[in-house]
Amino acid sequence: MQMTGEYRIEAPRDKVWAALNDPEVLKASIPGCEEMQQTGDDSFEAKVRAKVGPVSARFAGAVKLSDINPPESYTISGEGKGGAAGFASGGAKVRLAEVDGGATQLHYEVDAKVGGKLAQLGSRLIDSTAKKMADQFFANFATTVAGQAPEGGTATGGAEPPKPEAAAPAPAAEPTPEQQAEMQEKAMQGAAPGHVAPSDAPAESMDEVKRRATEASTKAVETVRSQKSMSPIVWIVGVIAIVAILWAVFAL
Amino acid sequence: MPDSGIGAAVKRREDFRFITGRGRYVDDINRPGQLYASFVRAPIAHANVRGIDTAEAEKAPGVVAVFTGEDLEADGVGSLPCGWVVTDKHGEPHKAPPHWPLVRGKVRYVGDHVAVVIAETLAQARDAAELVEVDYEDLDPVVDLAQAGEGAQLHDEAPGNLCYDWELGDKAAVDAAFEQAAHVTKLDLVNNRLIPNAMEPRAAIGEYDVGSDSYTIYSTSQNPHLLRLILCAFVLNLPEHKVRVVAPDVGGGFGSKIYAYAEETVCTWASKKLNGKPVKWTAERSESFLSDAHGRDHVTHAELAMDAEGKFLALKVDTKANLGAYLSSFATAVPTYLYATLLAGQYATPAVHCNVRGYFTSTAPVDAYRGAGRPEATYVIERIVEVAARDMKMDPAELRRKNFIQPDQFPYQTPVALVYDIGDYEPTLDKALEMIGYRDFAQRRAESEARGKLRGIGFSAYIEACGIAPSAVVGSLGAGVGLWESAQVRFNPTGSVSVFTGAHSHGQGHETTFAQLVSEKLGVPYEQIDIVHGDTGQIPMGMGTYGSRSLAVGGSAIVKACDKIVEKGKKIAAHLMEASVDDIEFDGGQFKVAGTDKAKGIGEIAFTAYVPHNYPEGVEPGLDETAFYDPLNFTYPAGVHIAEVEVDPDTGETKIVDWVAVDDFGKVLNPMIVEGQVHGGIAQGVGQALLESAVYDDSGQLVTGSYMDYTMPRADDFCEFRVGMTVSECTHNPLGVKGCGEAGAIAAPAALMNAITDALGAEIDMPATREKVWRHAQAKLKAAAE
């Protein structure tokens, strides 16, 4: 399976990088994620309950990171096991680029292979479902990073409509400068690890916001450097999708 | 026409139970205290197995045992053998790497058997199988047949993954003929890999009886004695007399149930290991896709040399055959002796040479599948002949006619080893041409074009060698078994007859045709004859059913046994009627004293044989005779199929608008069953040509592993097949029959692909999917517009 995509996230690159490394943000963003753990200097494990059609199933995935170049790019590779369902293994290259308006363009290229019953039964559906799951993840993620809590898993606020395989997705509606400023503020609030600021959070003084944001991003970057690790989101999402398809296929 | 004897279109008596759900298949059999097996299968195409952790599975609810290859090895369980030694062109036997029922250290295809979990219920066995942790070290798979020689090494015993490099025919003569040729037609072909898809999946129960130290194996086998022989002599080292194999109703085989597989082996072994608990396994459909032996899978380059008038001078063929990861029971013979020997076809081509390289790849084992080598041969010949006709701007029917072996040339020695005993090809072609209305084809094509459709017509003048086979011949070619057949005809005291045949019916209708045969031979009412098969505990040693052999070989054995019955009956009748044995004639169930009106019915003779109060001296009581028949030659059914198609350039749909099959099967016992076999065969051939294809991706995953991706033909893919017959009776068996079970599958792919390529004006490989057809149809229209 090969999958590429780009997403525009309305937050500065450092913040995106930090958020990508925040297990809580990831947990909030991965549809159906129940657990997100760091298991080593450069490894993560996730447990996800994925639902496709009438079927829901729990699956576990683990990944390792390499070529880490904060806050610009990294390569992730690993393997996910779905029990008798088979396995998926592969890697993804992820790049973050600074773009106009203080936003970040996230680009990913996944190259994964699936095996066992996943391949035998689900090969036809893997690409489309994986893309759908990836879209859902980035919508949630962008919302979170941009400062708004995800609402029922649907994309809101600063999330661009996802455009997989589009070389340069055009913004659906360019925010006004005022809106952008507001979004950035919220993004700063939201970037604090473990703290997703709800959109109706009580207003705080500008200084306090700046102080917390700086603290949070510094901490996040430090965490990244000390752990040399980053989230396996893209890859995991792909694997989740595949496993979910398989389970759907089985149940049918 | 008789009501029930030879030639009668009797409805199949077995259909009552099949259609009403009263068939009894292996999965319908449940033994007291039985356990269920679930196999842990490799999800990776090629990997070293560094370790198998069974601890969690063993602790799971209901689990009785988990076994791996080490357990089998410790018990001395052998490798699943390949029963046919092919000697390569350097005089060396084929490479025969071991095929362990459970892997030892390495997996070689997705679906390979890594471990077995045995539990009290099927659900428990399957759940626990998920808990077996296997530590794999990935290795590069070998997927692409064309590149199989250059990739990773699958077996230490087979450098370059080459099983054999084999040839047949006079290469020097062929080369010389090509130098003389006025025209050479060249063609590259792929014979796509198929998955057999019998309606009933494979299943097995192994049951060891501690008290009698004996085994009963219930198996979906086409040849229960052969399975017993292989398991006892080669794999499990069991005394043959202590093993009974029962193959009850079997729902289709098409070759895939000939072989000895890992599953029945493991169930049988495990039952003893578990102190006599029966162990049952039934394949899920997914497992069938992965691990039933697949069929076909050749890549071929062929060249046909002709003189200026289109006379064939020589044919040379170079084939790479995919044998899969391991050698299945007869895998080596299929692309060699069952393929290259047929490359003369119906033609008097003076020189033929064929080179075959058989390769191991990280895919499921490949073995015989309906037609077994002969569809591949027919596809090569009939495609290249059709292309040659296009090259030479000749009528394809006339080019064939020009090159047919003539009636006065029989028996005809082909340049590829076989001797055709009889055939009459021109009348068959003429009949087919007339039935299809060949003269008016141009008009039909014009009408189609007027409607925006592309019409094509395609021929396939096939020949096959079946009724396999003279034991001495196949023995000299490397077969490990003899290929005779047995029959026992037993009168019961009240005059009914039980016939025990070594052939096995799994859809062929033996219970009907064999009863018709015995009714005709002994004059016993059809209803009073029962056919018993598929149980080594009941029938004499037999070789089973494959290669369209049941009637030609098994039926001939029945004839011989009936002859013995009559011979003995004559002695009893002579005694009863106080006549000389030489004066007794037997006809229509009556023993008559020649020239008198004295007669005794065979029923009375049978009763006398079992109640021998008034009985000839020196004659044994009883009327129960066994015979074995070893054929003198193969039989050579041949025929002409013509397919007519209409392609819709907008949708790529190929509509089969007409199909004519004129076959020469020799004498026909039951025309309705023969027609049904022809229909089924064509359906399978159409499946291959239009829809079916087993595809492994680059990493060796089977991506056509379910009916979502592996497309089977359906009723609406066909037209009404029109079947005609010509008859030249086989010269060397007592029935004059040839066999009809595979002909359709052999003939159909070439006929259909010739028709489609005719319509498109372009070469395409099977399967001719809508996408492929659409692209070429569009290209043709575009070219025509320019």
Q: pLDDT tens, A17-42?
A: 888 877 788 788 877 788 888 888 77
Among candidates A94, A134, A159, which has minimal Cα distance to A236? Answer: A134
- What's the pLDDT score for residue A241? 56
Mean pLDDT per 10-residue interval, chain B, length 786 residues: 84 96 97 98 95 97 98 97 96 97 97 98 96 94 93 95 98 97 98 97 98 98 97 96 98 96 98 98 96 97 97 98 97 97 98 98 97 97 98 97 97 96 96 98 98 98 93 90 95 98 95 97 97 97 93 97 98 97 97 96 98 96 98 97 98 98 97 97 98 94 91 95 96 96 97 98 97 96 90
The dihedral formed by the CA atoms of B8, B11, B12 and B13, expressed in degrees to the nearest 10: -110
Sign of CA dihedral B261, B472, B317, B457: negative
CB neighbour burial string for B688-723, b if at least 16 within 10 angstroms, e if fewer: bbbbbbbebbebbbbbbbbeebbbebeeebbeebeb
For chains A and B, count residue pairs whose Cβ atoms are closer than 8 Å: 49
Q: What's the gap in Å between the CA of B54 and the closest CA on chain A?
A: 14
3-state helix, strand, coil split of chain A in percent (to 5) is 40, 30, 25
DSSP string covering A207-229, please? Answer: HHHHHHHHHHHHHHHHHHHHHT-
Question: Do residue B705 and residue A124 have CB atoms under 8 angstroms apart?
Answer: no
Question: Do residue B43 and residue A87 have CB atoms under 8 angstroms apart?
Answer: yes
- What's the pLDDT score for residue A210? 55
State the maximum Cα–Cα separation within chain A, in Å, rounded to a whole number. Answer: 57
**A contacts of B46 (beta carbons < 8 Å):** none
**Cβ–Cβ contact B699 with A under 8 A:** yes
Question: Quick check: A82 pLDDT over 70?
Answer: no
- What's the pLDDT score for residue A116? 75
Q: What's the gap in Å between the CA of B223 and the closest CA on chain A?
A: 30
**A contacts of B699 (beta carbons < 8 Å):** 113, 115
Question: Do residue B110 and residue A117 have CB atoms under 8 angstroms apart?
Answer: no
The answer to whether B50 touches B548, Cβ cutoff 8 Å, is no
Q: Which of A84, A87, A119 sits opposite B697 (nearest CB)?
A: A119
**In A, residues 149-188, which contact B (CB 8 Å cutoff)?**
none
Interval A183-236: pLDDT, tens: 444 444 433 333 333 334 444 455 555 565 556 555 544 544 444 444 445 555
Question: Do residue A116 and residue B110 have CB atoms under 8 angstroms apart?
Answer: yes
DSSP string covering B71-100, please? Answer: HHHHTT--PPPPSBPPB-TTSPBPP-----
Query: Which residue does chain A place closest to B111, by CA atoms?
Result: A116
Question: Do residue A120 and residue B130 have CB atoms under 8 angstroms apart?
Answer: no
Give CA–CA dist A59/B351, Å, rounded: 62
**Cβ–Cβ contact A116 with B under 8 A:** yes
Question: Do residue B705 and residue A120 have CB atoms under 8 angstroms apart?
Answer: yes
- Which of A114, A123, A243 to mutate against chain B (most B CBs within 10 Å)? A123
- What's the pLDDT score for residue A164? 39
Question: Do residue A115 and residue B708 have CB atoms under 8 angstroms apart?
Answer: no
The answer to whether B535 touches B247, Cβ cutoff 8 Å, is yes
Among candidates B258, B218, B214, which has minimal Cα distance to B238? Answer: B214
Joined tokens for residue B746 = 């052999």
Interval A95-117: pLDDT, tens: 999 998 889 999 988 887 777 77
**Cβ–Cβ contact A83 with B under 8 A:** yes
Find the helix or strand (DSSP H, E) in which B679 lies. helix B671-686
Strand-pairing partners, residue B501, are B487
- What's the pLDDT score for residue B211? 97
**Cβ–Cβ contact A252 with B under 8 A:** no
**In B, residues 36-65, which contact A (CB 8 Å cutoff)?**
41, 43-44
- What's the pLDDT score for residue A38? 82
**Cβ–Cβ contact A56 with B under 8 A:** no
**Cβ–Cβ contact B711 with A under 8 A:** no
**Cβ–Cβ contact A193 with B under 8 A:** no
Q: What's the gap in Å between the CA of B244 and the closest CA on chain A?
A: 34
User: What is the side-by-side order of every strand in the sheet holding B721-726?
Assistant: B454-463, B638-647, B654-664, B721-726
- Which of A120, A129, A242, A249 to mutate against chain B (most B CBs within 10 Å)? A120
pLDDT tier at A94, thresholds 50, 70, 90? confident
Q: Which of A87, A113, A117 sits opposite B286 (nearest CB)?
A: A117
Question: Quick check: A251 pLDDT over 60?
Answer: no
Q: What's the gap in Å between the CA of A129 and the closest CA on chain B?
A: 16
**In B, residues 100-119, which contact A (CB 8 Å cutoff)?**
110
**In B, residues 119-178, which contact A (CB 8 Å cutoff)?**
126, 129-130
Kindly list the structural domains of chain B, giving each domain's residue range(s) and its CATH number in brackets, ordered by start. Answer: 31-139+202-282 (3.90.1170.50), 295-468+633-785 (3.30.365.10), 484-629 (3.30.365.10)
Distances (CA, A) of B4 to B260, B561, B667, B669, B671: 37, 20, 16, 10, 12
**In A, residues 217-236, which contact B (CB 8 Å cutoff)?**
none
**Cβ–Cβ contact B651 with A under 8 A:** no
- What's the pLDDT score for residue A202? 41
**A contacts of B709 (beta carbons < 8 Å):** 123-124
**Cβ–Cβ contact A87 with B under 8 A:** yes
Give CA–CA dist B13/B550, Å, rounded: 17
Question: Do residue A113 and residue B129 have CB atoms under 8 angstroms apart?
Answer: no
Among candidates B666, B669, B725, B739, which has minimal Cα distance to B520? Answer: B669
**Cβ–Cβ contact B702 with A under 8 A:** yes
- What's the pLDDT score for residue A231? 47
ipTM (interface pTM)? 0.70
The answer to whether B342 touches B463, Cβ cutoff 8 Å, is yes
Give CA–CA dist A137/A154, Å, rounded: 9
The answer to whether B448 touches B454, Cβ cutoff 8 Å, is yes
Give CA–CA dist B641/B638, Å, rounded: 10
Q: What's the gap in Å between the CA of A138 and the closest CA on chain B?
A: 29
Question: Do residue A120 and residue B289 have CB atoms under 8 angstroms apart?
Answer: yes
pLDDT tier at A170, thresholds 50, 70, 90? very low
